[in-house]
Amino acid sequence: MQTREFFVSAPGKVILHGEHSVVHGKVALAVSLNLRTYLRLQSTSSGEVRINLPNIDTFLSWEITALQPLLAGCKEQGVLKELDADLLNRLRKFTGISDDSTDTRSMAVLAFLYMYLAVFAESLASITVSVWSELPTGAGLGSSAAYNVSLSAALLSARGTISSPLTPQQESARWSKEEMELINRWAFMGEKIIHGNPSGVDNAVGTWGGFLRYHAGNITPLSWVPILRILLTNTKVPRSTKVLVSGVKDKINKFPSVMKPVLESVSAVSCTCEQTLTEMAAQGPSAEHYNILEELIDINQHHLNVMGVGHSSLDTLCRVTLARGLHSKLTGAGGGGCGITLLRPETDTSVIQSTVEELKACGFDCWETSIGAPGIQQHSSAALSQGILKILNSY
């Protein structure tokens, strides 16, 4: 173990444009959300591996001597390959987590144990990992990916597989491109454990941050894009992504001549937004740039309603914000879930406060935050708020 203690964090994500069209080969834009997952890793001499997940009230520990036999038969220990189904099955039996479990706590623990054993396979080390997140779980905001990216960076750094980039003079630092590519690949492994067949978009956003273009399986980070202020609203209406995706597919099959142009238009919205963001970064943001972004938000929200993934709660969000001159759309699968509202630089604080108050009165959760935040980072303790430090240090 090269480092006795360090802190990392990774952002969540929202889909700016391109929901549902992306699975049909069209362009989508994903962007990092400045609500983050924070992780503290400590090396210890306890002979145990411990994980603390305050958000879901979980504290678990295992003796290293009990974990060691699980590695029997692993041919290339410590080497990133495809998911080792045998090791995963042994872990499921060891923890009592069933194959069909979707429980947040269980899947977080399973991903942690798998990555810990795979990274430290040659010499299991005593560590304590504490994780706390600003992201709500199950809201389509990339909370599991932020967890897996943070976990991958912390474990790989502690093992010495990648560097610990923070210098004494810095409060926050990032890894090299090559090291972040490795972090991203390990995080994708964790996402496979939790979700089965993920796209890789969420962990890529958590790793690289900023805006990413997703098209036909290819993920391309966009450079030099602006950070935008938003309101993020969680309607808290539960929905099934699987059912919503299936519904869009059925509608396309039933009305191909109607729906395929809609998908093309959604893709064009993504491309136009990408062009606008690039101009904002190169020329500086202007009122006209924000006008375009607002129009694209309105257009895309109508597209999503046409696809059948709108919801009365999202209509309420759009109505409440538009009454104050603000523009909103759903993000993610739709059918409830979350929505985003663009805030212009000149938007008055009183307008934001009254909007948040009315949305909360509707039973929604609401945060003022930003998109375009940095990806995975290592931090000194001085870089973290006292509230976050208190939670991470409480074990």
Question: What positions carry a catalytic annotation?
Answer: 144, 202
Q: Which residues contact 256 (CB under 8 A, 6 or more apart)?
A: none
Cβ-count burial 27-38 (b if 16+ within 10 Å, e if not): bbbbbbbbbbbb
DSSP state, residue 373 = -
Provide the Cα torsion 360, 339, 333, 312; round to 10°. Answer: 60
How many CA atoms, within 13 angstroms, populate the side-chain half-sphere of residue 109?
26
Say which amino acid occupies 58: T
Q: What is the sign of the dihedral through the CA atoms of 168, 171, 177 and 181?
A: positive
**Three-state DSSP class for residue 191:** helix
- Sequence-separated contacts (24+) of 274-279 with Cβ below 8 Å: 274/27, 274/29, 274/211, 274/213, 274/222, 277/211, 277/222, 277/225, 277/226, 278/222, 278/224, 278/225
Among 141, 309, 149, 310, smallest CA distance to 232 is for: 141
Whole-angstrom Cα distance, residue 121 to residue 14?
35
Tokens of 185: 């690949």
Q: Which residues contact 109 (CB under 8 A, 6 or more apart)?
A: 51, 58, 60, 95, 97
Whole-angstrom Cα distance, residue 279 to residue 281?
5
